[in-house]
Structure 1
């Protein structure tokens, strides 16, 4: 690069604040390269007010600032680095890093069959990390969609934004797709409406040289009204966009991408602070004026106009009626970081059927974030093999041995460690199971033929023909997939495999079981930050399991005759029978030990657990880790962004269920002798169906005799979560439960705590002081 002596360029002034009235005016500086640089070879600045046909920029600065006389002759190939660019202000902040591919794509719709898989194939072929989508026609901002396709191992996560007005007409809708790398760096998800949404990604560029604080990447996906829309609609869009940009932090690197329906044409020399001069030649529209004015107001630079490419690689939209090409999709970045963009061009050869091209920008910026490993656990399904089961039992017996432990905590820690080692030895670690995709290889081959077609006008007939073939083939694949699923359901139902049957029903029902990505705080305001959403869930469930204590507690009577119950420590027979009652398909607790590991542990495990439970029986104290639980929110009904519409399922260690089962089996005979006949709940052999039968018979008799019937139904809010534990133990003792059992139950509820598992992460630990587990 040949550089001349620099004059007082704004990037070399003492002030780093780039305000609108001090933006440098850049020239093209195009030698043999394709890039319109942000440097200037002019010595005089023309004020923007003197530019003809530019009515939307009357208030920009007309100051004649000194400029730089440097000419840049660098090559703009995708592999070039920008580390040596002298125009990068404070270039030591941003050093050459692994490029980030950021795209903008109007997909027209993601509701058609196979369109989401085509999008995943397109992102995989172009190695796109972040993609801003327009016209998704999906309006749900609380859901996360996994984009998959045959032969792709990369996971793509789609978040969409919409509103009720767009949902009613089935139009608009925006979204952002992230790869695993970008998902690991996600800090905020900000859905606005059917035209705007944004994400904040954690970057790796320091705010200052000696600061550990990093700059974040603030990516906005936008879909502007068409040029023929009313001024009111356009004003509302740009007002909302300005509000969204102002919500970014001062240290954020802002990237604005989307379909703006704006033709800006070739920018003049005095407009070089807003973009390059390599845009597709066209008459500037009103939307183009508005976009340039917005860039000037918010110090944004149109990178989509800054690189010299052929007309085919510059145009972004093809008219279906006239066949003409226009550049209406754009990507803009913060002005200070304009030279970090290595390239920006359009791609027409994609798998997605759209009249828009995919605009791809390569940014020299590395995201920061640790990728979460998928929660695979142990491959316990292999225990169905008798040989694997035998290896597990033998290894567990060897690991347990005859180690002496001083207290119950160490004893349980030894058993848990032995079970993990034996299960890992026999079963091995679990793996992520990728479901077989429903798209056939025949459909993929037709899609590839269509993608390889030239973009010339004479190939339109062949392109439409192949698109019809793709649609027919995808519909056929979808129908075959449904037939295969129905056959699998029939086989599962005939063989009595209810677990497999209901899993197939859940997977194909379309019902969403995941937690909303747009949770609100207690004041009803949406929470965009992921960590703040985790904290909100912890706050909500802490309130749910920490109700105020009872004001009045009935004193314990000393004249109550205790129940006749065996007070002997648990025997091996009791432990074995309670383990046998465990259900295999239940989820593991915080110790990550599923029930099947207890059921197949053999005689050695039964002996070790019996010894542990005998010590607990004697000391009336359980291991401290047994007091922890994992809380999983399950949606009930109502608005999905309200925490109160979710029910918390507590996952406790399986071994505590064994102890509770022993206590229950000993207390059940005595309880049955003292309970009222009208009580049908929580009794063996009886249930709600008995009460319904009694009520129906009663109504029939009353109707026959023409007698009025008055019924009262009570639904207690948080009935089991609000139980005062002190009153509970006092009531149990007053009913006649032996003190030994009361003490053991009290130990199960002492120092209890919980953590919420949501969004693939765990919240902070909090205490729970009320309710039953």
Structure 2
């Protein structure tokens, strides 16, 4: 599947179908399965051959519901079992032509047996409603059949009588030629004798005033039978197309097309209709991407540079006149860059190469001819012979498809190997994702506030706009805090940006990122940094002096990223804003100036988005706190706080006061504030853009300044919450540790229930003043070494307690230890390894490249947080066993090959896992020991809580492991602290740790 090269911008009304002149074809087909490689492409080929506008499909065996687009342009709407682990059975779908896609108003997935779609027609105020279904077989129990027809009736009751309704599919109903009692429902052209399912279908049509089309038109027997038994001795008419009586004259013919072939025992049933779909009037998206990969070519880059310079020289004459306002000047600069991109690079087309070979397509054609031979056979013996030839031809098609897919994977593997050889890690990662199957994504219909499924583009666009407009425009806090400005303003440079600062900011920009509404990619600016610096120096200088931001820089395109949970619920998505790349240059200059002056005023407890701090610091500190509290029998309360949509909820008026409170100069505050005033946003959905809406709360996710601004808010909240410094855990003889923070992931720490209760209530109160709300359903309390069973409450409601919690991706257990975390990491690594199985099997990828992918995609997942693990022989053995199994599969080794683990590690250049974890651990300890002595992470290495050790043999802890290893290396703790200040010496120490490839 592939996205379209063109996408809609806004859905207005759809484009008209129903005409008294044009003949359109609508078909239904039980294809037996689409859960096979290339099966959808084969069906699409038949759709094009018969020029079918809407093709209904039965027994697709696809699970869940959604829509996908094929390389050849067809769109498939599908419905199946919704369960995550559902079996691939049943399933229905529509395959739509380009004409039908343009006329589609809405569609609805109603389970694995029913799907519905609505189209706009040429007839004013008349829609075409098509229901595709797959009825239970005749031998199913009565309850199953009744349930199916009840659901079908519920759907029909929603449809208006004035609209044209078509019911079609594999109804497993024999209606026969005797229409006695059903004269208003069917003619006498049916096949066979009516069965129980036939009666149920006839009764349903009678109740809904419909006619069974296949019973009306006279045809030869072979053009009536829709299903043929494998031995060709039994033929039945069980697939039908029915239409409302009011529109009977629109149906010109219904008959079987025996020539259509998809390796199914059902024939395609086709209806010729006098109708014409009307195209929806839609505007195209203005989102454009250029072929920036062309800039990797030296000659193209030189051409691009020369073109930009020539255009800038021409523009310079206009700028020298000095009568342009900022918006006009920006539009001139924007036109210069975008026109150069158009001329030199061209627009990027999204077309995925079809991996099916011409040889396979020829085999499909041969199979189709063999089916024709079956249809034309006159004797049973001839049919049997033709059937054998058809079966052999079908087997050849399947084998050829498998070969093509294997070749496609090998070609991708070769591209991956080339990318690896060239050091192109971005391309290697993208190909890895393709081989892992992560690149395929289908669009699923979403639900409105009331839980109703929305399937039309127009309704979905409105819902996304509604959702994000509400999310990004929160009501102001009822009791905003009184925040006083700082007595002294920080000594931060407020002069206009220098060329050196702009050049540095451009160097910092990352390639391969999506452009904003102005369509200017980072690669275009970085292609000629010297000229880009000149261009932006004048513009940013004017912006700086006038404190006015170009209007287009205040607009963003919001990209939806799925989180966990129901993908039909808008709340399970987060938004990232695509902003102007030149605007990011200004933000980088401001950020670099702010960081230097403000970072020293932030609490040491915060590690998010700060230099020389990491998740590992916080995980290690918290794990040590839990382990030492258990050893010293010290009570411990931890509150893992989760904020609800934190970045999107922050009150901006309060934020501007906070900037003054931290001593930031008014010049910088004005520039930041002006970039947020009148900020507008549009949501990208299915290649279209919603209407624009204003954004009045929160910080922009995707903006360089946003993490910094958010940290100021969290820092102020925690300073207010912990201002009395009496509710934390005893950290040093003269101080307490109240919390550990990583951005908005807070872990509150206390020794007693009363302390934690007081701190939680105060945090909730202070957070609300800034517009932030704590998510009670996701906030968790962990207790250790306490008999107090009273719950911690918030707003009178108890918070849920837990024995373990995943903190920053690492599992923390109240009893300490790392066994649970190791188990979770192995499981995640196992999933990652299995997803990359195509890479391990690929012959074109060299072993060294496979090992690089293994180290970066699997081993990195496995060893995340391993610096904080306490080592036991049991956990080390589990990790080593998993790695050994993976390496043997990569090398295609069997136990019968009798390759020892030591030899295996040498072949793959791997260290024993005990040594590797030890190296990672001591590398991190070196970073920590180089920090000032008063930093929390460094103090944690030797921290012990107040209390008394338990009786008996002490548990193994991270601290005890570290002390033991220090002695084994022949050093004292003081000597290690001194050695860490010499980076070269410490690196030599870590590199020299045991790596003798001996299994422990």
Q: TM-score, normalised by structure 2?
A: 0.64
Q: Deviations over 1:278-311 (max 9, x none)?
A: 333x111122222222222222222223333332
Mapped to 1, the partners of 2:470 and 2:659 lie a distance apart of 25
Distance between the aligned counterparts of 1:251 and 1:544, measured in 2?
Answer: 39
Aligned partners of 1:360, 1:475: CA distance in 2, in Å?
A: 31
Q: Which of the numbers 134, 139, 143 marks the counterpart of 1:232?
A: 143
Secondary structure of the 2:121 match is strand
More moved, 575-584 vs 487-496: 487-496
How far the C-alpha of 1:585 sits from its partner, in A, is 0.6
**For each residue in 1:252-302, what CA deviation from the matched residue of structure 2 results, as whole angstroms up to 9, or x when unmatched?**
21111100111112254885543444333x111122222222222222222
Match of 1:59 in 2: none
- Choose the corresponding residue for 1:380, options 277, 287, 292: 292
SS in 1 for 2:150: helix
Q: Quick one: structure 1 residues 273 and 398, their matched pair in 2 at CA, closer, same or farther if it must change by over 3 Å?
A: farther
Equivalent pairs counted in the alignment come to 666
Aligned residue in 2 for 1:257:
168
- For 1:396, the equivalent position in structure 2 comes to 308
- Alpha-carbon shift at residue 635 of structure 1 (Å): 0.8
8 Å CA contact retained: 2:165, 2:243: yes
C-alpha spacing 1:252/1:497, structure 2 compared with 1 (3 Å): farther
Q: Name the counterpart of 2:786.
A: none
1:452 equivalent to 2:369? Answer yes
Cross-structure match for 2:542: 615
Give the superposition deviation at 1:394. 2.5
- Give 1:369's aligned residue: 279
Match of 2:39 among 103, 107, 115: 115
Residues 393 and 602, structure 1, Cα contact 8 Å, conserved in 2:
no
Partner residue of 2:444? 517
Which residue of structure 1 lines up, in the alignment, with residue 221 of structure 2?
311
558 and 529 in structure 1: CA distance in 2 versus 1, 3 angstrom threshold: closer
Equivalents in 1 of 2:454, 2:44: separation in Å? Answer: 28
User: What SS does the corresponding residue of 1:447 show, helix, strand or coil?
Assistant: helix
Would the alpha carbon gap of residues 174 and 684 (structure 1) be closer, same or farther in structure 2, given more than 3 Å must change? Answer: same
Look up the match of 1:23.
Answer: none
Does structure 2 retain, via aligned residues, the 8 Å contact 1:397–1:605?
no
Q: Are the structure 2 counterparts of residues 559 and 661 from structure 1 closer, same or farther at C-alpha, using a change threshold of 3 Å?
A: closer
Larger CA deviation: 691-700 vs 378-387: 691-700
Picking from 218, 238, 242, the partner of 1:332 is 242
Q: Which residue of 2 aligns with 1:422?
A: 340
Q: State the distance in 2 between where 1:418 and 1:581 align.
A: 23
2:95 aligns with one of 170, 173, 177: 177
Gaps of 5+ in 1: 1-92, 149-153, 207-213
SS at match of 1:102: strand
In structure 2, C-alpha distance between the alignment counterparts of 1:251 and 1:365, rounded to whole Å: 15
| CA displacement at 1:95 relative to structure 2 | 4.3
* Corresponding residue number in structure 2 for 1:348: 258
Of the candidates 9, 20, 24, which is equivalent to residue 100 of structure 1?
Answer: 24
Distance of 2:134 and 2:109 partners within structure 1 = 13
**Using the alignment, how far apart are the partners of 1:751 and 1:745 within structure 2?**
12
Residue pairs, 1:691-770, within 5 angstroms: 691-699=618-626, 701-702=628-629, 705=632, 707-770=634-697
Per-residue deviation at 1:509?
Answer: 3.0
1:635-650 paired onto structure 2 within 5 Å = 635-650=562-577
**Aligned in 2, Cα 1:607/1:293: closer, same or farther, shift over 3 Å?**
same
Structure with greater proportional helix content: 2
CA distance 1:465–1:257, shift in 2 (3 Å)? same
Q: Determine which of 446, 469, 475 is the counterpart of 1:548.
A: 475
Shift of 1:430: 2.4
Distance 2:238 2:80 in 1: 22
Residue 625 of structure 1 corresponds to which residue in structure 2? 552
Partner of 1:658: 585
Residue in 2 that maps onto 1:431: 349
TM-score, scaled to structure 1? 0.81
Residue by residue over 1:378-405, the C-alpha shift from the partner in whole angstroms, topping out at 9 and shown as x without a partner, is 2222222222222222323333422245
Matched ranges for 1:18-417 at <5 A:
95-141=19-65, 143-148=66-71, 154-164=72-82, 168-206=86-124, 214-266=125-177, 268=179, 271=182, 273-280=184-191, 282-320=192-230, 323-370=233-280, 377-400=289-312, 401-402=315-316, 403-404=318-319, 405-417=323-335
Q: In 2 relative to 1, CA 563–464 (structure 1 residues): closer, same or farther, beyond 3 Å?
A: same
Partner Cα separation in structure 2 for residue 609 and residue 165 of structure 1: 54
CA distance in structure 2 between the partners assigned to 1:452 and 1:376 by the alignment: 45
Change (3 A) 1:315 1:136: same
Partner Cα distance (1:664, 1:167) in 2? 47
The CA deviation at 1:365 is 1.6
Question: 2: distance between equivalents of 1:715 and 1:166?
Answer: 27
Counterparts of 2:201 and 2:83, CA distance in 1: 25
Equivalents in 1 of 2:288, 2:44: separation in Å? Answer: 24
Tell me: CA distance 1:95–1:540, structure 2 relative to 1, closer, same or farther (3 Å): closer
| Inter-partner Cα distance in structure 2 for 1:260 and 1:234 | 11
Query: CA separation in 2, counterparts of 1:372 and 1:227?
Result: 48
User: Alpha-carbon deviation of 1:443?
Assistant: 2.3
Deviations along 1:393-424, one digit per CA (max 9) or x if unpaired, are 23233334222453111111111122111111
* Residue aligning to 1:578: 505
Give the distance between the partners of 2:79 and 2:630, measured in 1 at CA.
Answer: 54
**For the structure 1 residues 302 and 399, does the alpha-carbon distance in structure 2 shift closer, same or farther, using more than 3 Å as the test?**
farther
Going from structure 1 to structure 2, the CA distance change for 1:692 and 1:165 (only over 3 Å counts) comes to: closer
Hey, what does 1:443 align to over in structure 2? 360
Q: 1:514 to 1:474 in 2, by over 3 A?
A: closer
Q: CA RMSD in A?
A: 2.5
Residue 553 of structure 1 deviates from its aligned partner by 3.7
Contact 2:178–2:193 (Cα < 8 Å) also in 1? no
Deviation at 1:665, TM superposition (A): 0.9
3-state SS in 2 of match to 1:720: helix
**Contact 1:376–1:432 (8 Å) recurs in 2:** no
Q: For the residues of structure 2 that align with 1:98 and 1:501, how far apart are their CA atoms?
A: 51
Q: Hey, what's the Cα distance between the residues in 2 that align with 1:425 and 1:314? A: 58
Whether contact under 8 Å (1:129, 1:181) holds in the other structure is yes
Q: 1:313: how far off?
A: 2.0
2: CA distance between counterparts of 1:752 and 1:513? 33
Deviation of 1:376 after TM superposition, in Å, equals 5.6
Deviates more, 1:361-370 or 1:693-702: 693-702
